[in-house]
C-alpha cells in the first residue's frame, strides 16, 4: 500500500529493520551525556518564547562529510568530500535572520565567519611584537576581527551550539539525539541537512579488526548501503519540523530528477539541488509545487549563493509555521 | 639475481614499469613550477656551507595521510588516518638540532609548535576587547605565543619549508621533485618518511568520471597496489641520502617482523616500528645491526617519544655522513 509520500508500508518496515541494525552495530557515542545536556539547555533557552508569537526559530545545520571506517582500529576510512563551506556560510545567514543554530559539523571543516581567512589562520594571521604584544597581520586584520568577535558573540549568547562528528556512526546517532531533543519546538524547528553523508558503509561487526595487509594483490571490498534516514527523520523523529535536504551530483543530466525523487521519497519540504562544479554560483530549490533557481549576485564579488538561499528557505519556513497554526 | 638489498633485477624492472604507469596516469601537479622554485632556493641556501665541515643538514619530513580518490570529480575518497602529530613534533626536534626541514604535510594536519593547542586555536584562543585590541585568552597564552613566534622564526629564517599535499598522486610527485632537488646535499640529506601513505589506489584512467550512484545494492570496489616507491627513492632518486621509513601496525605480533622486512627490501637505513595504540609512548628503531627501543620519559608529563627518537636518528645520520667522508 503506497502512502502519500511514495513509500509503502512494507518498505518502511524493511527500512526500520535496517536502521535498527545500523544503530545496533554502531560503536556507542562516547560523549552522549554531555551532548544530551547541551541540547536540553539549548532547546530550553530557545523554547521560552513559544506560544507568544515571538518564538525563536531553531535550525540544525549539518555540515562537512562523514567517514566510513574500513577497520575497527581505524587506520583507513572512506571519506566524503566537503569543505563545510556551505554549512558554515548558511549558519551565518541563519544567525543573521534571528535563528538559533545547532551546527552539527565534521571536525576540522570550515567554521562560521572563517570563510575569508587563509587556510591556516592561526599560524598565518598573527605575530608577536618585540614587547610580547600580539598583532594581527595585514591584510587579514578586519577579517580576523570579524571572525573572532562574531563567532564569540554567537556562542556566548547561546545562539550557536557546535557539535562535531567524524564518522557516519557518530553523525547519525547525534542527528537522532538532536531530533529527540527538539520535539517541543514543533514547527519552529528546521533541519538543513547539508552534510555529505556516506551512502555506503562497512558494518562494524563485519569489519577487519586489524589493519588490512597489503602485499597480496588487489584489494576487493564490499560496502553495504547506509539506510536512508531522511524518511525516518521526517516522519518519525521530527514529524512537525521543516526539513531541507541536499542533492549533490557531478552529472547535471540526472540532478533535478534525483532531487525531485528524493523530495517525494523522503517527504522533504525542499531539496537543494547542486552540481559539484557550479555549486558556489547557483542551486535549484526543488519543492512540491515549484522549482526555484537561486543565483549568487554576480555584480558583487563578495556575494554568495547561501545569502538568497537562506532568505528563500526562511520565507518557506515562515509559511510552514503559519500553515500549521 | 639477488642484489645485496634483497630485490632481484627482474623485480626492480617490474617495479619501474609499475611506477612509470602510476606517474603517467596521475593528474599533473598544478603548482609544479612554484614548488620547484621554492625547493631550488631552499637547497641553494642550505648547501652554501657544504665542504667546509659546517654544512647544514637537511631533512624532508613527510607527515599526515594521503588520500585515494574513488571518482575523477572527487566526491568520495579513501583516506589514511594520521593526525600529523608525529611529523609535526619531529620537525620541531629536527629544527632544534640545527636541521633545515622540508615539511611535506597533508593539508589541515598538525603543524609544528601547535601540538599543545586546542582543536581550533584560531577561534578558541583569542578575543577582542572593547577598544578593539586583540588578547590571548588564558590558559593558552604561553602556548599561543610560543607557537606563533617559533613558527614564524623558522619560516622567516628559511629553516622550514612547508609543502602541503592531499592525494597520493600529489604526494608521490612532490616526493620525487624533492629528491630530484636535493642531489647536491648528498649524505647531508635525510628522508624521514612519517606520512601514512595509501597502499591501494584506483588508477586515474579506470576511475568513474561521475559520482558513484547508490540505490542499486552493495558497492564492490577493486583497488590496486600503489607501487613501493621506497626502494626507488633509496636507490635511484636519492642514493646518498639517509633514509628512515615507518611501519605502523595494529597487531604487535607482526610489527617487528614487517619492519625488518621493509628495512631489507627497501634498503632503508632505519625503520621506525610503531603500534597504533602505544605509538605515543614507545617505538622501536629497526636497523641492520640492532633494534633500539625508544621510550618517552615517563617521569615528565610533557615529554614525548619524538625527542629521544630524533636524538638517536641525528646521531645515526652523523655516523652516515662520517662513514662516507
CATH superfamily of A9-113+150-323: CoaB-like (3.40.50.10300)
Stretches in chain B below the pLDDT threshold 50: 1-5
B contacts of A121 (beta carbons < 8 Å)? 122
A contacts of B107 (beta carbons < 8 Å)? 119
Q: Do A81 and B81 touch (CB under 8 A)?
A: no
For residues B247 and B258, give the distance between their C-alpha atoms in angstroms, rounded to a whole number: 7
> And the C-alpha cell for A254?
540526472
Out of A114, A123, A152, closest to residue B111 by CB: A123
Whole-number pLDDT of residue B54: 67
A contacts of B151 (beta carbons < 8 Å)? 123
> And the C-alpha cell for A108?
576540522
Whole-number pLDDT of residue A1: 39
Whole-number pLDDT of residue B12: 66
Domain B9-112+141-215+224-323 has CATH 3.30.420.40: no
For Cα atoms B126, B132, B137, give the angle at the middle one, nearest 5 degrees: 20
Which chain B residue has the Cα nearest residue A142?
B132
For residues A65 and A262, give the distance between their C-alpha atoms in angstroms, rounded to a whole number: 19
Q: Do B218 and A224 touch (CB under 8 A)?
A: yes
The model's confidence at residue A188, banded by pLDDT at 50, 70 and 90, is very high
Q: Do A120 and B111 touch (CB under 8 A)?
A: yes
Whole-number pLDDT of residue B190: 98
Whole-number pLDDT of residue A119: 79
Whole-number pLDDT of residue A240: 96
Tens of pLDDT, residue by residue over A95-132, are 999 999 999 999 989 999 998 888 788 888 888 888 77
Per DSSP, the three-state class of A182 is coil
Whole-number pLDDT of residue B14: 78
Distances (CA, A) of B21 to A306, B14, B29: 43, 11, 16
Q: What is the Cα A31 distance to its own chain's centre? A: 19
B141 or A272, higher pLDDT: A272
Distances (CA, A) of B220 to A220, B121, B135: 7, 40, 53
Chain A nearest-CA distance from B104, in A, is 15
Whole-number pLDDT of residue B22: 86
For residues B191 and A33, give the distance between their C-alpha atoms in angstroms, rounded to a whole number: 46
Give yes or no for residue A213 having a pLDDT over 70.
no
Chain B nearest-CA distance from A309, in A, is 23
Q: Which helix (H) or strand (E) holds A40?
A: helix A32-46
Whole-number pLDDT of residue B3: 46
Tens of pLDDT, residue by residue over A225-246, are 888 899 999 999 999 999 999 9
Mean pLDDT on A206-218: 64
Evaluate whether A235 touches A191 at the Cβ level (below 8 Å).
Answer: no
Evaluate whether B163 touches A182 at the Cβ level (below 8 Å).
Answer: no
> And the C-alpha cell for B127?
578575543
Q: Do B79 and A79 touch (CB under 8 A)?
A: yes
Whole-number pLDDT of residue B32: 96
Q: How many CB pairs under 8 A join A and B?
A: 166
The model's confidence at residue A3, banded by pLDDT at 50, 70 and 90, is very low
Mean pLDDT on A193-212: 78
B60 or A216, higher pLDDT: B60
Tens of pLDDT, residue by residue over A35-46, are 999 999 999 999
B contacts of A196 (beta carbons < 8 Å)? 75
Whole-number pLDDT of residue A292: 97
The model's confidence at residue A169, banded by pLDDT at 50, 70 and 90, is very high
Per DSSP, the three-state class of A124 is helix
B contacts of A200 (beta carbons < 8 Å)? 214, 218-219
* ipTM (interface pTM): 0.79
Best interface-test mutation with A: which of B250, B252, B253, B266 has the largest number of A CBs within 10 A? B250
Evaluate whether A27 touches A209 at the Cβ level (below 8 Å).
Answer: no
Nearest to B211 by CA among B102, B83, B74: B74
Out of A114, A132, A211, closest to residue B145 by CB: A132
Chain B nearest-CA distance from A322, in A, is 36
Which residues, other chains included, contact A54 with Cβ-Cβ below 8 Å and sequence gap of 6+? none
B contacts of A126 (beta carbons < 8 Å)? 134, 148
Residue with C-alpha cell 581567512?
A117
B contacts of A147 (beta carbons < 8 Å)? 122-123
Chain B nearest-CA distance from A45, in A, is 23
Alpha-carbon torsion, ordered A234, A235, A240, A246, to 10 deg: 10
Best interface-test mutation with B: which of A127, A162, A219, A249 has the largest number of B CBs within 10 A? A219
Q: Do B276 and A135 touch (CB under 8 A)?
A: no
Chain B nearest-CA distance from A73, in A, is 7
Using DSSP bridges, classify how beta strands A242-249 and A270-275 pair: parallel, antiparallel or unpaired. Answer: parallel
Whole-number pLDDT of residue B308: 98
Q: Please name the residue ranges forming H helices in chain B.
A: 9-25, 32-46, 85-96, 121-124, 141-156, 168-181, 229-232, 252-266, 306-323
Q: Do B250 and A123 touch (CB under 8 A)?
A: no
> And the C-alpha cell for B69?
580518490
Which chain B residue has the Cα nearest residue A258?
B213
Give yes or no for residue A216 having a pLDDT over 50.
yes
For residues B306 and B61, give the distance between their C-alpha atoms in angstroms, rounded to a whole number: 13
Which residues, other chains included, contact B186 with Cβ-Cβ below 8 Å and sequence gap of 6+? B50, B240, B241, B324
| Residue B262, burial from CB neighbour count under 10 angstroms (0-12, 13-18, 19+) | buried
DSSP label at residue A256:
H
Q: Do A122 and B127 touch (CB under 8 A)?
A: no
For residues B283 and B295, give the distance between their C-alpha atoms in angstroms, rounded to a whole number: 7
For residues B6 and B24, give the distance between their C-alpha atoms in angstroms, rounded to a whole number: 27
Out of B128, B211, B212, closest to residue A145 by CB: B128
Q: Do A71 and B250 touch (CB under 8 A)?
A: yes
For residues B111 and A201, give the distance between their C-alpha atoms in angstroms, rounded to a whole number: 31
Which residues, other chains included, contact A91 with Cβ-Cβ below 8 Å and sequence gap of 6+? A61, A63, A101, A103, A112, A160
Q: φ and ψ at B56, to 5 degrees? A: -70, 140
Which chain A residue has the Cα nearest residue B228?
A215
Amino acid at each position: 500500500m503506497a502512502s502519500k509520500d511514495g513509500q509503502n508500508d512494507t518498505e518502511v518496515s524493511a527500512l526500520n529493520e535496517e536502521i535498527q541494525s545500523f544503530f545496533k552495530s554502531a560503536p556507542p557515542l562516547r560523549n552522549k551525556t554531555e551532548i544530551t545536556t547541551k541540547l536540553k539547555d539549548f532547546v530550553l533557552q530557545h523554547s521560552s518564547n513559544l506560544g507568544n508569537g515571538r518564538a525563536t526559530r531553531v535550525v540544525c545545520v549539518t555540515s562537512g562529510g562523514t567517514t566510513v571506517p574500513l577497520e575497527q582500529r581505524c587506520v583507513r576510512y572512506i571519506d566524503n568530500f566537503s569543505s563545510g563551506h556551505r554549512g558554515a556560510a548558511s549558519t551565518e545567514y541563519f544567525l543573521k535572520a534571528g535563528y538559533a543554530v545547532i551546527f552539527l559539523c565534521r571536525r576540522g571543516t570550515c567554521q562560521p565567519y572563517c570563510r575569508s581567512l587563509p587556510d591556516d589562520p592561526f599560524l598565518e594571521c598573527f605575530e608577536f611584537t618585540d614587547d610580547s604584544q600580539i598583532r594581527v597581520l595585514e591584510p587579514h586584520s578586519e577579517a580576523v576581527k570579524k571572525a573572532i568577535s562574531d563567532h564569540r558573540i554567537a556562542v556566548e549568547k547561546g545562539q550557536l551550539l557546535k557539535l562535531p562528528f567524524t564518522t557516519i556512526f557518530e553523525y547519525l546517532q547525534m542527528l537522532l539525539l538532536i531530533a529527540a531533543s527538539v520535539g517541543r519546538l514543533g514547527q519552529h524547528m528546521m533541519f538543513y541537512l547539508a552534510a555529505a553523508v556516506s551512502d555506503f558503509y562497512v558494518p562494524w561487526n563485519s569489519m577487519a579488526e586489524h589493519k588490512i595487509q597489503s602485499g597480496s594483490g588487489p584489494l576487493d571490498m564490499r560496502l553495504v548501503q547506509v539506510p536512508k534516514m531522511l524518511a525516518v527523520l521526517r516522519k518519525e523523529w521530527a514529524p512537525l519540523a521543516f526539513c531541507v535536504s541536499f542533492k549533490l551530483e557531478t552529472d547535471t543530466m540526472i540532478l533535478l530528477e534525483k532531487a525531485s525523487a528524493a523530495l517525494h521519497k523522503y517527504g522533504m519540504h525542499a531539496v537543494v539541488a547542486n552540481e559539484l562544479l557550479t555549486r558556489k554560483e547557483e542551486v535549484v530549490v526543488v519543492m512540491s509545487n515549484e522549482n526555484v533557481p537561486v543565483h549568487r549576485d554576480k555584480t558583487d564579488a563578495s556575494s554568495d549563493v547561501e545569502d538568497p538561499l537562506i532568505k528563500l528557505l526562511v520565507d518557506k519556513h515562515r509559511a510552514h509555521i503559519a500553515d500549521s497554526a
